[in-house]
Structure 1
């Protein structure tokens, strides 16, 4: 999965696998979380958000099952 670098204080990069609907977020604390069942629209909304971390906490973290890689 390709990840895209983002300008955020706690998130380094964000990636998305459209076929598997998996969102991957790399944090500065050396953790990578994979979120499952995430729509392409949600990925696009996250990437367009003025504050990625705020959008992540409000719309991804509390909505989707995740696993730590």
Structure 2
């Protein structure tokens, strides 16, 4: 999945597979997680958020099933 870099003290890059509703996040340090059944709206709000990290912690972390892929 292609990810785009984001300006964040916590997140390094974000990707989204719209057809499968999979959100992929790379954190500083190299860990990569995929979050499943994430609506496109959540991805858009994350990308448009003033703070990507705060949005992630409030709206994604522990709210969607996920797997660490790297």
TM-score, with normalisation over the residues of structure 1? Answer: 0.96
TM-score, with normalisation over the residues of structure 2? Answer: 0.95
CA distance in 2, matches of 1:55, 1:68: 19
| 1:35 matched residue in structure 2 | 35
Q: CA RMSD in A?
A: 0.6
Q: Which runs of 5+ in 1 are unaligned?
A: none
Q: Which runs of 5+ in 2 are unaligned?
A: none
How many residue pairs are counted as aligned between the two chains?
69
- 1:62 to partner: Cα distance: 2.2
> Do the aligned residues in 2 keep the contact of 1:10 with 1:29 (CA within 8 Å)?
no
| 1:67 matched residue in structure 2 | 67
- 1:58 to partner: Cα distance: 0.3
- 1:31 to partner: Cα distance: 0.3
Dislocated runs of 4+, deviation >4 Å: none
- Pairing 1:51–2:54 present: no
